[in-house]
Structure 1
Amino acid sequence: MVSLRLADSFGFDALYMTGFGTVASHLGLPDAGIATYTDMVQRVRAMASMARAPLIADGDTGYGGLLNVAHTVRGYEAAGAAAIQLEDQEFPKKCGHTPGRRVVPMADMVRKIKVACEARTRSDFLVIARTDARTTLGLDEALRRAEAYAGAGADILFVESPESAEEMRAIGRSTHLPLVANMVEGGRTPVLSQAELEAIGYRLAIFPVTALLAATEAMRAGYAHLRGQGSSAGLATPLMPFGDLTRLMGFEEVWEFDRRHAEP
């Protein structure tokens, strides 16, 4: 939640609740189908209630069959999300930039998208359809699936793990719907600039692990220094001033509340 508060302070158009990062930070586990609907909808509710920007939330595979998908969409919508992302992986799903992913038949995912669109109660609650077919079945199959998911009613398309800028350009040429670019540093897809992404047809870019990678590396350096030196004295890693952290977390509001309600 520290990362959400910090990201929200920069005025981004939207925030993204990543499955990888949420499972890692909340449960300390890999994004491999271990987190449940209950785990994730609780995080959606907590994040959406705190964020000023609209929250796009990873809904994995919908956590089961068609009835589960409908329940997930209604739950995420009620929890305050502005959009839900659903993917066509088999259960248990895996992070989109790791090996071993398998996808369900295209027709099964088409039914999921139709159910998701029918289940929402607000017209402005968006359904993002993600396909993970590129890695195991190739780009042509991924594009065929994206077209089918668009036909099923998806508002935004997410073709996961293209492996070159040329593949990304082909994706951009393939549809009139808004596209998601998943920018994972060290992943399967090249990280492009905003101008490059816009030029090839992408309307939305997510950077789901940028802050997590930066923070984890800084923590590793800090803990190594503490272990080696027995103190934080002399630590070279930049630290946020403690006063800035207390302000970010809302302590000033707590102190003002205490002043207003102090005993005479």
Structure 2
Amino acid sequence: MLHARLTSSEKRRSLRSALASGELLRFPGSFSPLVSLLIERIGFEGIYVSGAVLSADLGLPDVGLTTLSEVSRRGHEIARVSNLPAIVDVDTGFGEPLNVARTIQVLEDLGLAGCHLEDQRNPKRCGHLDHKQIVPVEEMTRKIRAAADARRDPDFLLIARTDAAAMEGIDAAIERGHRYIEAGADALFPEALRDRREFERYREAVDVPLIANMTEFGKSELLPVSTLRELEYNIVLYPVSALRLAMFAVESGLRRIADEGTQVGLIGAMQTRRDLYALLDYEAYTAFDRDLFDFSTPE
């Protein structure tokens, strides 16, 4: 009720423990606290706050226009309600190494379990689009060192994302991954790998936790959980799935209301009041309120 039962430190430790187990952890993307409650209820292992989703929800393209304040606020709102660890996308870190250092400490204070930082040049773009530009490896390693030095909680997970595979090939992406780990990253996120063979090759080349991005309509083959487990990946992201599902349903429903002049025919496609209240745990709030107000005041 109100907030998660687990503290931020407990959630970070649980993520570290889960990564050490070798099991594949599933992190659907969330765009609101309510979606986060549903992700936990269904039984996923973590929550992902996608930069692309946050930008879209603000009516912006994913080109690095969001600010640290916007991203950290939404990340905090999402992390607050769930006992699952939440990882947030911080794009290129909102500036130079000193800005990156501040970003890490703000996220720690707001209850996030980890973040990923990428090696694109601003204006950055979705990792599955063409004509991306990446910064020199030395520039990215300075940011990673700043992030690692600024981190106060050693359990806060620092993930380095590289977009080099699409620009310079898989070998360059592997080489950058090694450099990023040396600089202080805990895990690697090789973006826009094309198929099973590339995912397999990256795993063969590095011995740290790896993140697989299973985003729809992108450059990567959509590998099932069974394959990713076989390849020994550690986290799989479904970054935009919930938003795409929601927007498709919203658009379809609104068009039907516009055409028919009523929502009666859509009732069966809606979450019921009962289900919404159960997800919000209304009963616990009501019981809590009755316990507090069990007296009467004088006239």
Work out whether the TM-score is over 0.5: yes
Q: State the one-letter code of the partner of 1:37.
A: L
Task: Give the deviation of 1:262 after TM superposition.
Answer: 6.6
Preserved CA contact (<8 Å) 1:5 1:50: yes
Residues 203-222 of structure 1 aligned to structure 2 (within 5 Å): 203-222=234-253
Q: In structure 2, what is the Cα distance between the partners aligned to 1:69 and 1:174?
A: 28
1:139 equivalenced with 2:180 (yes/no): no
Could you tell me the TM-score, scaled by structure 1's length? 0.94
Distance in 2 between residues matched to 1:147 and 1:45, nearest whole Å: 31
Consecutive unaligned residues in structure 1, runs of 5 or more: none
1:6 aligns with 2:58: no
Q: What residue in structure 2 maps to residue 23 of structure 1?
A: 55
Q: What displacement does 1:63 show?
A: 0.3
Q: Match for residue 178 of structure 1?
A: 209
Alignment of 1:95 with 2:126, yes or no, is: yes
Identity %: 37
Three-state SS of the structure 2 residue aligned to 1:29 is: coil
Q: Give deviations 1:157-193, integer Å, cap 9, x for gaps.
A: 0000011211111111110001000000111101111
Query: Structure 2: how far apart are the matches of 1:236 and 1:166?
Result: 45
Distance between the aligned counterparts of 1:17 and 1:60, measured in 2?
A: 11
Q: Which runs of 5+ in 2 are unaligned?
A: 1-31
Change in CA separation of 1:174 and 1:9 when aligned onto 2, cut-off 3 Å: same
- Aligned-pair distance for 1:247? 2.4
Task: Report 1:64-83 matches (<5 A).
Answer: 64-83=95-114
Indicate whether 1:193 and 2:224 are aligned: yes
Query: Could you tell me how far 1:137 is from its partner in structure 2?
Result: 1.8
| Counterpart AA for 1:87 | E
> What residue is the counterpart of 2:160 in the other structure?
129
The letter for the 2-side match of 1:201 is E
1:234 matched to 2:289? no
- Does residue 1:114 correspond to 2:145, yes or no? yes
Give the CA RMSD over aligned residues.
1.6
Matched, 1:86 2:117: yes
Aligned partners of 1:180 and 1:206 also within 8 Å: yes
Structure 2 vs 1, CA of residues 262 and 227 (structure 1 numbering), >3 Å: closer, same or farther? Answer: farther
Secondary structure of the residue that 1:223 maps to in structure 2?
A: helix
